Each structure stands twice: as structure tokens, then as C-alpha cells.
């Protein structure tokens, strides 16, 4: 369940940042870069802030981290 919520939230954030880049200001592209860097970081450290937040909200971890 955690993995599903994670993928939906990250996908929504990427789409949101692209829409904001196109319609508001090109500097919103840095939000997309931030998301990508966090995904790369989590692949190496096996720690993800979004995963921690979702677990504190009560979602169950079915194994693995954000990289899974």
C-alpha cells in the first residue's frame, strides 16, 4: 500500500511541476530536479522523507524503500 501511495504522490508532483513550469514560471522546473535528486538519493541510502511521512500517517510498509 505504501508503494502505491508513494508512486501516486511522486507522479502527481512531477506532473504538477511540469504544468507550473509551462503556465507560471520556468523556475518551477527546479522542483522536478529536486524530486529526481531525492529519488536518486533514496536509491543509495534506502531512506526517503516521503516514505517516513506516509508511515507516520499510518500506512504499512510492504517491504523495500522508495527505490522499490
Q: Which triple of cell numbers denotes residue 8?
A: 501516486
Sign of CA dihedral 55, 60, 65, 68: negative
The reported pTM is 0.78
The separation between CA 9 and the C-alpha centre of its own chain, rounded to angstroms, equals 6
Q: What are the structural domain ranges in the chain?
A: 2-56
Tens digit of pLDDT at every position of the chain (68 positions): 888 899 999 999 999 999 999 999 999 999 999 999 999 999 999 998 889 899 999 988 775 556 55
Amino acid at each position: 500500500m505504501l508503494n502505491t501511495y508513494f508512486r501516486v504522490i511522486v507522479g502527481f508532483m512531477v506532473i504538477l511541476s511540469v504544468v507550473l513550469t509551462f503556465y507560471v514560471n520556468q523556475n518551477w522546473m527546479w522542483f522536478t530536479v529536486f524530486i529526481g535528486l531525492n529519488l536518486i538519493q533514496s536509491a543509495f541510502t534506502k531512506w526517503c522523507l516521503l516514505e517516513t511521512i506516509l508511515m507516520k500517517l499510518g500506512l504499512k510498509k510492504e517491504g523495500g524503500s522508495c527505490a522499490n
